[in-house]
Structures are given as structure tokens and as C-alpha cells.
Chain A
Amino acid sequence: MKLLTHNMLTSHVKGVTKGYPLLIKATEVKVSEVEFNPQFVSRMIPKLEWSALVQAAEEVGHLNDLPTELLPDYENNEEFLRKVHRVLLEVEVLEGSLRCPESGREFPISRGIPNMLLNEDEA
């Protein structure tokens, strides 16, 4: 699960109103090299909840020097875009879990795949 994906996931447990962002507990994280495409990263940024990204990066131990607030004029800031690229696309949680911040319900991540299925009583 990449952090770009995580940024879009939310808890959908019945009755929960504040199910975002899901809290990450990572037991295995992988960092791989992904081709850097500045336009792509630029276009992803408006879709993100920035604070959730920062929180997620910290939870998996890859915050490094990622700014806690979005820089203005980021489209032309290659250094910044590279940092975002790394955190969004190169860091992957392979094993661990995602926790609903309100209900505490845990969704396991195994072999890179979050299992978000709810039981019948939770839906």
C-alpha cells in the first residue's frame, strides 16, 4: 500500500463520522525506486489531504524533511516534488494494519494489500 493510496482510504464502519485518516501501524515497509514524473506528482497534490500525508509518513518512519505544510508554488519546486514523490510513491507498507481513528477497528495489510472488508454487523 503506497501512501498515495492511504491518503484516499477512509474507514466506513457503520456510524463512524470521523474515520479519516486511518492510523497506520507498519511492521514491514519497503522503499523502492519509482520513476520521477514531476507533472504527475504536481497533479496529485491538490487531491491530497496534506496533514494526513504528513501523519502517515511519520507513522511509517519516512517523514524525513517533508514540510508539514504545503509549499506555495510547488509546481515549480523540483526539490519539493521529489520529496513528495518519494513519500507518495516509493514508500510502501507491506505488512501491518490500518486503524479507524474513531471505532478502533483494525484492517489488516498483508502482502501490500489492505483488507477493508467489514463484517455483516459493522456495515
Chain B
Amino acid sequence: MNNYVKTTKMTKANKKVIRKQLKASHTLLKHEGIETVSYPTQNLVVANGGLGNGVSREQLQDILKGSSSVKCLLMPPNKPYAFVTYGCTEDARQCHAALNGRQLQCQGRTVTLYLSFVDKAEMPPGLKVLEDFVSPEEEVQLLEAVDWSFCDDPGDNTIQKTLKHRRVKHFGYEFRYDNNNVDKNKPLSGGLPAVCHPVLERCLKEKHISIWPDQLTVNQYQPGQGIPPHVDTHSAFEDTILSLSLGAKTVMDFRHPDGRSVAVVLPRRSLLLMKGESRYLWTHGITPRRLDIVPARDAERSVAVTPDPCDLTLNERGTRTSFTFRKVRHMPCDCAYPSTCDSQRPLEVPQRFSLPCTDVDAVQLEMRFVHTVYDEIAGHFSRTRHSPWPRVGDFLRSLVPGAVVADVGCGNGKYLGINPAVFTLGCDRSHSLVQICADRGFQAFTSDALEVPLRSGVCDACISIAVIHHFSTQERRLTAVKELVRLLKPGGKALLYVWALEQEYNRQKSKYLKERGVGPVEGVEPGSVGQMDTTAARTVGTSSSAAKSSQPELSIHRNRTAFGSQDLLVPWHLRGGVQKEGQEPSHIGEKGALLASGSTPVYHRYYHVFREGELEELCRKVRNATIETSYYDQGNWCVILEKTL
């Protein structure tokens, strides 16, 4: 701890720096998974001192020049922070004291640096990696035992997709990817292959497990393939999960709900044990890429990858096959992690879902991942929706006084009062949100955007802002557009805004991605005040992972990163007190907000984000309307549609 206990009172300026530094640490944790510590170490993270926010290496080196033993300086591309490692802790501490709160002039703006110490990453609790668990001979035997000529498809149950997607095969029980659960009534004949028995016996003998597993999933990953972050469904499997890595090593990312992330190297022929918190609470996933950053010194060992800039090297991936052994669970899960437990909290757990094929499925999906969520988060959602987007305001203000306007999907009524010279009617599917509009004195009613109970042709104009992307089939999205056109009088105009797949357009990052200083902003979405850029150069549109529209699986999006596919579940972390009227406030743990948060519910909303040209394509299918303008605005694709005369 700090040995300099000052007896003089801290100045106001000092207090401000400390406050801002805490905010910076919080943001680093939440958005970058970087955990800072309060005790001095040799490693510093410099928030706002990164290439991503315009600070150059020369600038940083210049201000570090005063201090002695800089061992190295790591500036990850596109990140709003840098890492500095000193020869000794004392030098790092001096640097911290000297530079924390220091301001730099950077591309015409003033940037304030906030320094914090970082330490070696710790493994998620319950996680162990046992190296050299099988011999090379056993590895060969296991790999040869898998007959890939008939493999299961993790995408959907019809056609097997090969090249773009990892290959999967199940033994023991059929695993379903539409609900991420095991079909407990369908045990597969044959059980687990005999070739696995020696490995499992070893696990029993060494007391890693106490029960013989009865389900095996074999995954084969070619370089560039991965698996989205997930928690293995609690109700499907018992606690300890074993995973054997064969053929090549890889890096698996573990992420805690509070934002901390740890990258763990899984060496070849190692056995990964996930137990307790690492099995029930942290998500695990493998980023689809061909290169991993791994520690250089302990290259063959399993360690958590830490921000020690002097110790990193690149590993090129090979073909890796994992054998994951699990014990099927028959009683509901009663773990200590209800926030991720589908037995204890069925509504909130983000099981991966496939895209609906029928309208009935679509309605069900939207009920679960749009309507129910908005009703639950209405209060918090409304509190984060205050600033109207300027160009929407422009559209509304350009209307003739006395115009009748429908805001279909009005949310909390943000746009209902913008132009008092027109009569704006709001409607929304969420009764809670409509209530907020009414409380604010606006005229609004509850209805579905696919069937708006207004007379045809009664509107001079309509707006649909950030609505249509919640419909889960193209047919429904088209119906929504047609409905808007139906409401218009001939010559009337509709303004449509939908989230864009391309959050970076014309090399201009949307505010959603762009760095804008440090400080936690809740519920940040495309088009609102910006946050740190967390993309590792994933300019969507060129990335092949974005073209996974053939894959019907919905992935869970990581907030404030580029969208990896067009159909997503986007998390919403509910904060602050009252949720629905009459419910108890969200429990904030005694130690404060950043607990191992069983206390902060995470909701997921479904989005179909539009690629460039897609909205126009959709609008062109409406015969009695023409596109007057189309443009890109802060992470949204926008169209002004005019009803033909």
C-alpha cells in the first residue's frame, strides 16, 4: 500500500483525479476485461494513453523519459490504453505518482492520463489445466477413433456445414444446439467410446471427478474457427467438466460477468478442468482466429496470458480436437450462481437460439428476447434514452405545422414532443414504456408495429427509430415497413432507422465504438455517447465471420465491440434500483457494485442488424413507396420513404 500517508488534506484537484482514475479503472474492467489492483506492481496501464485515442508512441515515450528503468512499452493497436513495465516496483510507483492525471495535447484535444497498476492475471476459481495428461500415442489413438464421416451439426439439424464451422460429434446423449441442452430421453447407443476409458479412469483415480461421465462432445477446430462465449447449461450437466485438447494448442477466453477476462493457454494433450465458479459463472469461448498471443517464456505450459509486454509471442493455430466429457444432470441445478442458472432463473439465461423459420417461432423469440425484456428494463432503459438524434429531430422539424405523425415504436417518448407544431402519436409494444410516455403527457397507446390500429392514410409522416431490427424474420421486417406506408397519406414520408452491421463506416467509427474519454456509461448503444473501442481490427463487412448468415445460431454480442454477425442477442445489464413497478430493487452486494455479481441481472435483446444496402432492398419491395433518401448516421442505416401519389 501507499507509504506516503499525507497528513495534509487532499486538494480538490487531487480528489478529482482520484475519482476520475477510479472511473477509468472501472471502464477498463468493464470494457476491456483489464483488472487493476491497488497495490504497486511493476506493470502500469495508462488509460487514455493509447494508439486508439490518438496518443503516439513518441509522445508517451517522451513523458516517460524522466523515469528510469522502462523495460518496455506496449501499445496495442486501436486501444485507448497502453502498458508500461518497469524494472522494479519502486520505479513504477514513481511513474504513477508523477504521471497520474497528467494532461497531454493530442490531435487538438486535451487528454488526461490515468495510471493504474496491473498484476498477473489469476485463473478463474475452479479452473485447472493438467499438462501432458495423455501421451502422444494415446493422442493418436483418440484422434483416430473419431469417424468424421457422420458428424453432428452444431448449426442446425438439416445440412452439415463444413468449411466455415467447427465439426462436432456427440456420444452418450444427443446435444441440441437450439436450446443448448441435452435430450435426456434420447441416450445414444454405444455410450462413450472405449478408447476414452483409460483417460477417464485416470481422472477418477486422481480424484478430478467422482462420477463417470456419460456424455462426450468432440469438437474439431480448424485454424480460424472458434466457439462463441457461453456457460455450459447448468440444468444439462453436473459440476466438473473435463476437456482434453488434442492435435494443437489454443487459447481459451474466460470472462466474468463483471467484465474481467482471462485468456488461458490450453497446451496440446492437456486436460482442462472446469469446476465451480469457472464452470457455472464464467463464460468460456475460443475466438475464431488463426493467431493467438501467448506467453513466450512458458510457451508450452498452461498459464493465463497476462499483460506482461516483454513476455508475449504469437502462436499460429493448428487443427485442434477437443474431447469434452460431462455428466448429464437429472435434477434441477441448485448451484450458488443463480444469475447464470437456467434452473433458478429461466428467463435470464442466454441459451443460444437458432433463428426462427415460422412466424409462430418468430413471435415466441421476440416475446422472449424483445418484449419481455423491454417490460423488465423499461425504467432503466428510459433513463438512458434522453438525447434525441439530431437528424431525426431535423426530420420532425421539417414537417408542416399541423402534420399528424405516428412514432411507431416510440419507446419512452423521446421524439413525441420534439416539434410541438405537429400532432405526434406514439405507439409501442411495451406497455411499461407507453406508460412512461403517458406520464410525460404524450398521447400514446400500446400496439404491435405489425398491426397499427390507425386509419390508413391518416398520417402525414411516420417515424420508426430503432424498431425494425427487432423483428426476427425478413417477412416480419417487410410487414413493418408496409404498415408504415399504409399509415401515410399519398406523398407522406416515413423515416426509418435501424442498427447497422457496420459500426465503422468510411473509416469513421460510430460513437458506439469510438473512444470518448473515460467513464462508465450505462446502456450504451449505437448512436449514443461513445465508449472505448474494443475491436481488434474487425471492420465488419470484410471479415468472414460476419458472413455467417448461413449459420442460424444466434450469438451473444459483446457490448461495445463490432457486430460479428447479423442476428444477435445483445446483453443489457440492468442497473439501479427499481425494475418493474412494485418489484424490489436489484440487490447490490455489501461490498459494492462490482461483486461476483449474482445480483445484476443480464437481459438479452434480439437484433437483426442490417448490412449496407439491406434496408433499401427491403423498402424497394414495397410497391407504393419510393426511397427519397438513404444515409448512414452514427451506426444506423436510415431511409426516408415516400408514399407514391
Contact = CB atoms under 8 A, between A and B. Distances in A.
Contacts of B425: 5, 8
Contacts of A42: 402
A11 B453 CA distance: 6
Contact of A9 (B423, B434, B450, B453): B453
B445 A12 contact: no
Chain B interface bracket (under 10, 10 to 19, 20 to 34, 35 or more)? 20 to 34
Interface string B144-164: 000000000000000000000
A103 B220 CA distance: 58
A120 interface: yes
Interface string B415-441: 000000101010101010011001000
Nearest to B456: A10
A113 B423 contact: no
Contact of A1 (B429, B431, B445, B451): B445
A115 B448 CA distance: 10
Contacts of A43: 401-402
B618 interface: no
Contact of A40 (B402, B429, B458): B402
Interface of A: 1-2, 4-5, 8-12, 20, 39-40, 42-44, 47, 49, 111-118, 120, 123
16 contacts: A8-B425, A8-B454, A9-B455, A10-B454, A12-B453, A39-B401, A44-B404, A112-B438, A113-B435, A114-B445, A115-B446, A116-B427, A117-B446, A117-B447, A118-B448, A123-B451
Contacts of A40: 401-402, 421, 423
Ordered nearest first, which 9 A-B pairs have the shortest CB separation? A43-B402, A116-B447, A114-B445, A116-B453, A115-B446, A12-B453, A5-B443, A112-B438, A12-B451
Contacts of A20: 455
Contacts of A10: 453-455
Most buried by B among A43, A49, A118: A43
Contacts of A114: 445-446
B458 A8 contact: yes
Contacts of B434: 113
B444 interface: yes
A22 B431 CA distance: 20
B293 interface: no
A9 B448 contact: no
A36 to B, nearest CB: 14
B363 interface: yes
Contact of A44 (B423, B427, B447): B423
B255 to A, nearest CB: 38
A11 B454 CA distance: 8
